[in-house]
């Protein structure tokens, strides 16, 4: 089966995360939506309907079956998608979830309602439900590694799954608040304190003494330390040292310097204002807890302080004293109160220097995406 995952007009709602990838590539729970469809339909070929400047890397496949990227698929949704007939569209509460052909024949979705995300903060807000569902689906009928006796488990062992090659020693794991998934070749170093739900994906690491509160997703090859609460790290990003990060989403290939801290709650406990890429201005939300959203390839220096609901674009470098602005445009070099442009060639060099440590480098498609963002500077 072939499926195109469509941004459905919500591309800017998930910026800066979606500036370098389609919405269907955002990570929640254990997976991206592409990986989730491939789990449910192993023979599926997945493509994307996204922005033109992303389409060279994230190509469309030849099919008239379209799935809405806002939908986090569950078993009932996937079954309904697979059973669509020609020119049918699947709807729930006025939103089109999927269609085949023209979609002129509208039918109501019935079954367990999937999680639907329409704003970037939904990624961390709804991660608890998505993580628990992914855990149950993926680990069903699979056998976990045994937990080493050097650890302490609080809660049911059925809510802990350790993949082959993972190493967990000298830590406390609490599954009473949600499941804990430890991916292939992942490492939990001594003294780590984990309250589920947690997805520690393949090859990711928790550094010594890390304190993790759910629902948190640590994507493949990330290295995380310090105190983390309800955070998504997409892949290949590092927060290796002390410092607090809460109610946040960090893109790919990011690095938070030692003692980087993020506020996630205003001093007067009111709901937060945050930058909207769609409206190109700060907007009022009804959300009380919101930390940092950081686009791919961005970094902070040691002792950086981020205010509540700060939004950092793609390929930014932030260091110096004081709080930076709550919105930092793509390709910004921020030194305290001073901001200048991060030159594209220097950004390529910095990205490749980080990637070469993992034996990777920027592809030509990725360079074109970054070049586009360097010109437009959203």
Helix axes 33-40, 75-82, angle to 10 degrees: 70
Angle, CA of 229, 235 and 239, to the nearest 5°? 50
For the stretch 172-227, pLDDT in tens is 999 999 999 999 999 999 999 999 999 999 999 999 999 999 999 999 999 999 99
Question: From CA 328, how far away is CA 356, in angstroms rounded?
Answer: 26
Mean pLDDT, residues 257-269 taken together: 97
Q: What backbone torsions phi and psi does residue 355 show, to the nearest 5 degrees?
A: -70, -35
Q: Which among 292, 317, 269, 297 has a CA at the least distance from the CA of 369? A: 297
Beta bridge partners of 45: 2
Token pair listed for 65:
């079956």
Mean pLDDT, residues 265-274 taken together: 96
What is the band of 23 on the pLDDT scale with cuts at 50, 70, 90? very high
Question: From CA 245, how far away is CA 286, in angstroms rounded?
Answer: 21
Question: From CA 83, how far away is CA 66, in angstroms rounded?
Answer: 13
Question: From CA 52, how far away is CA 327, in angstroms rounded?
Answer: 25
Burial of 307 (0-12, 13-18, 19+ CB in 10 A): middle
Beta bridge partners of 68: 6
CATH superfamily of 131-376: Hexapeptide repeat proteins (2.160.10.10)
Give the chain's end-to-end CA distance (angstroms, integer): 36
**What is the chain's mean pLDDT, rounded?**
97
For the stretch 322-345, pLDDT in tens is 999 999 999 999 999 899 999 999
Cis check for the bond before 198: say yes or no (omega within 30 of 0): no
For the stretch 340-366, pLDDT in tens is 999 999 999 999 999 999 999 999 999
Q: 31-32 and 187-188: which strand pairing?
A: unpaired
- What is the CB neighbour count within 10 angstroms for residue 287? 16
Report percent pLDDT > 70 for the chain. Answer: 100
Whether pTM exceeds 0.85: yes
Q: Where in the chain is the domain with CATH 2.160.10.10?
A: 131-376
pLDDT computed for residue 357 by the predictor: 92
Q: 193-195 and 160-162: which strand pairing?
A: unpaired
Q: Which among 291, 373, 317, 298 has a CA at the least distance from the CA of 123? A: 291
Report percent pLDDT > 90 for the chain. Answer: 99
Question: From CA 374, how far away is CA 196, in angstroms rounded?
Answer: 39
Burial of 210 (0-12, 13-18, 19+ CB in 10 A): buried
Question: From CA 136, how far away is CA 140, in angstroms rounded?
Answer: 6
If you ran DSSP here, which 8-state letter would residue 24 be given? G
Question: From CA 4, how far away is CA 282, in angstroms rounded?
Answer: 32
């Amino acid at each position: 089966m072939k499926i195109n995952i469509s941004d459905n007009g919500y591309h800017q709602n998930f910026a800066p995360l979606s500036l370098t990838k389609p919405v269907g590539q955002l990570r929640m729970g254990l997976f991206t939506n592409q990986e989730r469809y491939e789990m449910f339909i192993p023979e599926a070929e997945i493509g994307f309907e996204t922005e033109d400047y992303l389409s060279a890397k994230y190509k469309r496949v030849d099919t008239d079956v379209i799935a809405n990227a806002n939908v986090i698929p569950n078993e009932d949704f996937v079954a309904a998608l697979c059973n669509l007939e020609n020119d049918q569209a699947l709807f729930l509460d006025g939103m089109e979830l999927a269609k085949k052909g023209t979609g002129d024949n509208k039918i109501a979705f019935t079954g367990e309602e999937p999680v639907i995300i329409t704003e970037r903060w939904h990624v961390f807000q709804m991660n608890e439900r998505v993580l628990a569902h992914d855990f149950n689906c993926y680990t069903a009928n699979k056998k976990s590694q045994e937990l080493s006796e050097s650890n302490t488990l609080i809660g049911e062992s059925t809510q802990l799954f350790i993949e082959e090659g993972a190493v967990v020693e000298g830590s406390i794991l609490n599954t009473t608040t949600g499941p804990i998934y430890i991916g292939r070749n992942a490492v939990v170093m001594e003294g780590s304190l984990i309250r589920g739900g947690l997805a520690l994906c393949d090859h990711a690491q928790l550094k010594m003494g890390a304190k993790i509160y759910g629902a948190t997703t640590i994507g493949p090859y990330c290295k995380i330390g310090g105190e983390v609460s309800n955070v998504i790290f997409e892949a290949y990003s590092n927060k290796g040292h002390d410092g607090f990060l809460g109610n946040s989403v960090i893109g790919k290939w990011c690095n938070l310097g030692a003692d980087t801290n993020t506020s996630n709650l205003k001093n007067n406990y009111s709901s937060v204002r945050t930058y909207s890429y769609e409206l190109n201005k700060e907007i009022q939300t009804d959300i009380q807890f919101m930390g940092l959203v950081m686009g791919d390839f961005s970094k902070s220096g040691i002792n950086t302080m981020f205010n509540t609901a700060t939004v950092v674009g793609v390929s930014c470098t932030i260091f110096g004293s004081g709080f930076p602005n709550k919105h930092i445009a793509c390709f910004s070099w921020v030194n305290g109160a001073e901001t200048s442009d991060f030159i594209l060639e220097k950004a390529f060099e910095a990205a490749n220097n980080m990637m070469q440590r993992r034996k990777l480098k920027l592809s030509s498609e990725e360079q074109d995406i970054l070049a586009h963002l360097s010109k437009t500077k959203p």
